[in-house]
Amino acid sequence: MTAINRRATQSDVEIISNKKVGAYHHMVFAAGAMAAYAKPGNFVAISVGGPSSSMILRRAFAIYRASDRGQYGGTIELVVAPHGQGSRWLTSLDIHDRVNMVGPLGTHFGIPTEPVSALLVGGGYGSAPLFGLAEILKERGCRVDMLLGASVAGKIYAPLEGKRSVNSLTITTEDGSTGLSGKVTDVLPSLIEKNRTEIIYSCGPMGMLAAVQEVSQKFDTLHQCAVEESMACGIGICMTCVLPVRDESGVIKMTRSCIDGPVMDGERVIWNSHRRIPEGTWGA
């Protein structure tokens, strides 16, 4: 992909729900026709801070779910962690407040044409796009297993919902406060073997994605991941979100994760670059 998502539009959207769920906020926006084109893996960019704010850059949020049905003509749901100034402002808004949203942006997860055994791996609130993906995969007749991990129990998003939408759910926490003690990669190999996993979908911190790719490579399993890079514009202009990726011919290029991602083939990402331009990169 070499251009902004051709279905993307910009509009003022109304907040119709804002509920605190554990450490996060589940927010629903009346997005109209924008919702009809949103797919798992896509994201939206929201203007934050209000008209007099010094926060001039938009904030990117992965789409949790989208629906083109109902009284609002289309809704987009987000899971927001109120960590920074912009996300704290967004989660402080009330029902019927409006924000300016651009979406859907970026690439989406590829859906198999035939039923397969899929394993969805998520870290913290980064797992949000996997819930809508699980529903689509189930509709296609796929076996869907989910593995969610976080540092503590409170950072696992909606574990009960995850359990309802998949064949099996495994939870890990680094402090052992819920589920199995450890990281997702500690149990990933056994799940791949047990469920005869054919494709892995992952969302979460970059360190986790790199570790998942290492395991998937050992098992020769396909791996699609939604990378997490800071995005200042979300539409391919600012070059803030670039990371090194091998193209189809094997050439390493600094690739914009906002328009050539966020969903990428995990095997093509150069995970050990440590935010430096690798030797041999095209144009370096």
Question: What's the confidence (pLDDT) of residue 284?
Answer: 66
Segment 212-267, tens digit of pLDDT: 999 999 999 999 999 998 888 889 998 899 999 999 999 999 999 999 999 999 99
Question: What's the confidence (pLDDT) of residue 193?
Answer: 97
What is d(CA 131, CA 65) in angstroms, rounded to the nearest whole number?
A: 8
Segment 55-85, tens digit of pLDDT: 989 999 999 999 988 778 899 999 999 989 9
Question: What's the confidence (pLDDT) of residue 162?
Answer: 66
What is d(CA 111, CA 114) in angstroms, rounded to the nearest whole number?
A: 9
- Nearest 5°: phi and psi at 184? -60, -35
264 and 150 Cβ atoms separated by less than 8 Å: no
Domains and CATH numbers, the chain: 9-105 (2.40.30.10), 117-273 (3.40.50.80)
Closest CA to 209 of 254, 170, 259, 265: 265
Task: Give the burial class of 8: count Cβ atoms within 10 A of its Cβ; 0-12 exposed, 13-18 middle, 19 or more buried.
Answer: buried
pLDDT band, very low/low/confident/very high, at 164 (cuts 50, 70, 90): confident
What letter does residue 258 receive in the DSSP assignment?
T
Question: What's the confidence (pLDDT) of residue 159?
Answer: 72
pLDDT band, very low/low/confident/very high, at 1 (cuts 50, 70, 90): very low
SS3 state of residue 155: helix
The gap between the terminal CA atoms of the chain, to the nearest Å, is: 22
Question: What's the confidence (pLDDT) of residue 62?
Answer: 95
Bridge partners of 169?
A: 146
